[in-house]
Amino acid sequence: MRTKTITKTCWNIAFIAVVLMLLYPIIFAIFTSFKSESDAYANPANLIPQAFDITGYTRLFNSLPMLRIISNTFTVSTVVTVFLLLFSFLFSYAIVFYRFKGRQVFWSIISVSLFIPFTITMIPNYILLAKAGLYDNIIGVMLPQIFSASGIFLICQSMRTVPVALIEVAKLDNVRDLKIMKDIILPLIRPQFVAAGIWFFAATWNEFIWVRLMINSKESYTLPLALQMFISGEGGDAFTSGMAMSVLTMIIPLVFYLIFQKYIIDTFTSSGIK
């Protein structure tokens, strides 16, 4: 009994240590964003500021159109997520529940494209969108991201768990495909659907390389792109503003998580019960 208690205590200590290591960068960014520049460089290891200073935030909002940048980031992430889920859902439904010529070929192409990194198609996409007049436009940022083989693969694998007989019975009763998708398929794969949406939103929110290639003007920046303005190779010439930008970049997804926390937890709980 004593051995089990010691073992449990050791595991708890290890767990707490790992959690603290994961939380430390977040805590460090938050406290450093409220330091003065001199305090941040003189006492980088001290978490608590000598005096709370919002100069980092004021410099940020004075040097960049932050409200526009936040709006751009939210718009891109939301639109891309909605279209990714929509296209992935419709394409997966056709692949899983329809039998048509070339079906296996389509699925093979999707499976193979999972192993093609976006960096390979990035330059062709850039050339096409630039010629279409979408350079330095958030529409150009969104277009190549609204269709994803990984999204189709995830949703498709979820739909394969739905009994085909259930769909066939519904079709015998002359139930339309849209009603089948809304009233039968979607409720059955809801946990996986929500999980995919969370993943798509977070990935799009944090996208940097593609945005850096497509966007030039500050009015079209997203938060990850704006962040690099305050970071230099030597560690940053506007350290507190860089930390303030880091806080703004992570705080908005966190707020949305807190708003929808109950729904997200209930979704994954129901997934585990099933």
Among the ranges given (63-67, 237-241, 256-260), the one the predictor scored with the smallest mean pLDDT = 256-260
CB-facing half-sphere around the CA of 59: CA atoms within 13 A:
21
Structural domain span for residue 169? 75-225
Give the end of a domain, one of 204, 225, 246: 225
Let me know if residue 180 belongs to a domain. Answer: yes
Let me know if residue 11 belongs to a domain. Answer: no
- Is 51 found in the same domain as 108? no
Helices (H), 137-222: 138-142, 149-159, 164-172, 177-180, 186-188, 190-205, 209-214
Per-residue pLDDT for 235 more than 80? no
Let me know if residue 158 belongs to a domain. Answer: yes
To which residue do tokens 């920046």 refer?
A: 221
Let me know if residue 16 belongs to a domain. Answer: no
Give the end of a domain, one of 186, 210, 225: 225
pLDDT at 237: 61
- Is 144 found in the same domain as 48? no
Please give the residue that has the higher pLDDT: either 188 or 258: 188
Any idea what the CATH number is for the domain that residue 140 is in? 1.10.3720.10
Structure tokens at 77: 């992430």
- Is 85 found in the same domain as 218? yes
Cβ-based neighbour number of residue 144 at 10 Å? 19
pLDDT at 270: 53
The contacts of residue 100 (CB under 8 Å, 6+ apart) are 94
> pLDDT for 112-138, tens place per residue?
888 888 888 888 999 999 999 999 999
Let me know if residue 18 belongs to a domain. Answer: no
Cβ-based neighbour number of residue 178 at 10 Å? 9
- Is 216 found in the same domain as 116? yes
- Is 166 found in the same domain as 260? no
Let me know if residue 80 belongs to a domain. Answer: yes
- Is 242 found in the same domain as 111? no
Q: Residue 238's pLDDT band (boundaries 50, 70, 90)? A: confident
> pLDDT for 20-72, tens place per residue?
888 888 888 888 888 888 888 777 777 888 888 888 888 888 888 899 999 99
Q: Which of 32, 12, 36 is nearest to 24 (CA)?
A: 32
CB 234 within 8 A of CB 154: no
- Is 179 found in the same domain as 128? yes
Instruction: Report in angstroms the alpha-carbon separations of 145 from 18, 76, 185, 191, 257.
Output: 34, 10, 25, 23, 23
Whether the pTM exceeds 0.85: the reply is no
- Is 107 found in the same domain as 44? no
- Is 236 found in the same domain as 195? no
- What is the average pLDDT value for the chain, to the nearest integer? 83
Structure tokens at 199: 């993943």
> pLDDT for 87-96, tens place per residue?
999 988 888 8
Instruction: Report in angstroms the alpha-carbon separations of 161 from 105, 153, 154, 188, 202.
Output: 21, 13, 12, 9, 26
- Is 220 found in the same domain as 117? yes
- Is 55 found in the same domain as 80? no
Structurally, how many domains does the chain consist of?
2
- Is 100 found in the same domain as 40? no
Let me know if residue 12 belongs to a domain. Answer: no
Let me know if residue 8 belongs to a domain. Answer: no
What distance in Å separates the CA atoms of residue 64 and residue 219, rounded to the nearest whole number?
A: 8
Structure tokens at 190: 């809801």
What distance in Å separates the CA atoms of residue 90 and residue 94, rounded to the nearest whole number?
A: 6
